[in-house]
A and B are shown apart, each in its own frame.
Chain A
Amino acid sequence: MADRKALQVEMISAHPGPVPGHGVQRNLEVCKLVDTTTCIGCKACEVACVEWNDMPFSPTTFDNTYQTMPETRWNFWNLIKFNEHQKEDGTIQWLMRKDQCMHCADPGCLAACPADGAIVKYANGIVDFNQENCIGCEFCISGCPFNIPRFNPETKRVYKCTLCSDRVGEGLEPACIKACPTGCLKFGTKDDMKFIAEERAKQLRENFGIEKAGVYDPQSVGGTHVIYVLHDATDPERYGGLPKNPEIPWSYTVWKWLFKPVLGTFALFGLLGVCLHYVTAGPRRTQPEPPRKGERNG
């Protein structure tokens, strides 16, 4: 245990009590930057993802678009969404967005997960699924505001983008970032990515006349570790259903912060009561049954 190469943990799903060792070490937050204005939809990131993660061939679908498939799959974590958007002057704008796990600072999947240690958030911001501890309840799917986790009916486990935690843990960049031939994908610290994204958005606004250009880093989930530069930051929905204000369902918040501690306390008292009863009253002793009427003795 305590492998020095392992990533420091910040949050653990369904784990009672604090996370030991959290906040002791200095940790840089990592981030992926997706500049949708320079994406050409070549899908090199899709292939690099499948190759690095050794995922099997996944049948593609044709739906009158160049998009590989309608949504990500349990074995296809990174999908370029091709969106045709009609501008005010009637011309068509082709918007491409790399759809994958956003690695939220406040992950809905982790809040929803009832299995201890099935979902962890590392101190560098990566949200990772640990399939060994997954119980296949699919709560994370309903807890995710971006519709990302995918259930594999064969293994009964849920899978999603790991932000290449195995590569990042060794100091490498994620596979998708490395492949991108146009450089629209970048990887680095959150601060650097945020700076580059804001500079790019400013450049688009001032030099290219794209007035609504902006950065997508939704604060409703505490910010994400995948951020976008969008042509129109006021309407992210047009990029294949990117929610404007992604939110964790309130039921999970209530469950996690109210019901769980309260009911846990009740359970603790119940257990203590049982122990106390056993200590004071002793084990239950069965009385010999009185002979029933009409039944012969002996």
Chain B
Amino acid sequence: MEFSRRTFIKGTVLGGAGFSALGFDLTPLHAQTQALKISRASETRSTCPYCAVSCGVIIYTLGDKAKNAIPQVVHVEGDPDHPINRGTLCPKGSSLEQDILNDRRLLKPQVRRPGSDHWEDISWDQAYTEIAQRVKKTRDETFLETDTQGRTVNRCEGIAWTGGCTDTNEFNYLAVKSMRSLGVCYLENQARV
């Protein structure tokens, strides 16, 4: 049989195809790992809102805070520079991203009236007004000027106040000032829970 140039090329191509099918791959082998999702995200330091330990967290948001970039939280993890937790977080703290990005997050004031079986939406103005009215009413009803022995006490025993763990010193200062001015004695902060 005549071994023409055409046959030779055919054989070469077929053989080459066979070799590559069997896996003689000459491309360099570096596996691409998934890109780090926070590599250029903005870092914002914050405090975990849950308990009184007040662990430091870093909130990673989309974009580099440029004017036209609308930031959105993409990840939250512990702050390694924070002296309290040094990067660690408990399970609740670890789930902080879900605290921010959550369909069930409450974004407006709601009220459940006495005897009612559901929550209804109210406006902020209405909420403030109703709270003020109740504070006034309760204070008027329960305010004690003197105790049983006739000593002047000027206290309001019908109201209690509890602060949250993320309240700053300044906020707590204002809370104590305003509550003391009402005569509230049952004044507490979550830091002691």
Contacts and interface: CB of A to CB of B under 8 A. Distances in A.
Contacts of A120: 31
Contact of B78 (A6, A19, A179): A179
A21 interface: yes
Given A9-B29, A16-B23, A17-B24, A166 B34 contact: yes
A44 B36 contact: no
Interface in B47-101: 75-78, 80, 85, 87-95, 97-98
A35 interface: no
B22 A267 contact: yes
A42 B24 contact: no
A178 B32 contact: no
Interface in A39-71: 42-44, 46-48, 51-52, 54
Interface string A7-31: 1110010011101110000000000
A271 B18 contact: yes
B113 interface: no
A120 B29 CA distance: 10
A165 B37 CA distance: 12
B80 to A, nearest CB: 8
Contacts of B164: none
B85 to A, nearest CB: 7
B11 A275 contact: yes
Contacts of A54: 37
Interface stretch (A102-110, A240-248, A276-284): A276-284
A130 B31 contact: yes
B95 A122 contact: no
Contacts of B93: 44
Interface string B19-31: 0001110111111
Contact of A279 (B3, B35, B94): B3
B1 to A, nearest CB: 6
Given A166-B36, A179-B77, A128 B91 contact: no
B34 A275 contact: no
A272 B21 CA distance: 13
A17 B78 contact: no
Given A42-B90, A44-B89, A48-B94, A2 B75 contact: no
Contacts of B18: 268, 271-272, 275
Contacts of A165: 33-34
A260 B60 CA distance: 48
A9 B23 contact: no
Contacts of A95: none
B109 interface: no
B30 A6 contact: yes
B14 interface: yes
B95 A51 contact: yes
Contacts of B34: 162, 165-166
Interface stretch (A167-175, A191-199, A226-234, A289-297): A167-175
B27 A1 contact: yes
Contacts of B87: 178
In order of increasing CB-CB distance, the 10 nearest A-B pairs are A16-B23, A47-B94, A6-B30, A166-B34, A48-B94, A47-B91, A169-B33, A271-B18, A181-B88, A44-B91
29 contacts: A1-B30, A2-B30, A3-B30, A8-B30, A9-B31, A12-B29, A16-B23, A17-B23, A21-B29, A21-B30, A44-B89, A47-B91, A47-B94, A51-B75, A51-B98, A52-B77, A128-B33, A166-B36, A170-B39, A178-B80, A179-B77, A181-B85, A181-B90, A183-B88, A271-B18, A271-B22, A275-B15, A278-B11, A279-B3
Interface of A: 1-3, 5-9, 12, 15-17, 19-21, 42-44, 46-48, 51-52, 54, 116-117, 120, 122, 128, 130, 162, 165-167, 169-170, 172, 175, 178-181, 183, 264, 267-268, 271-272, 275, 278-282
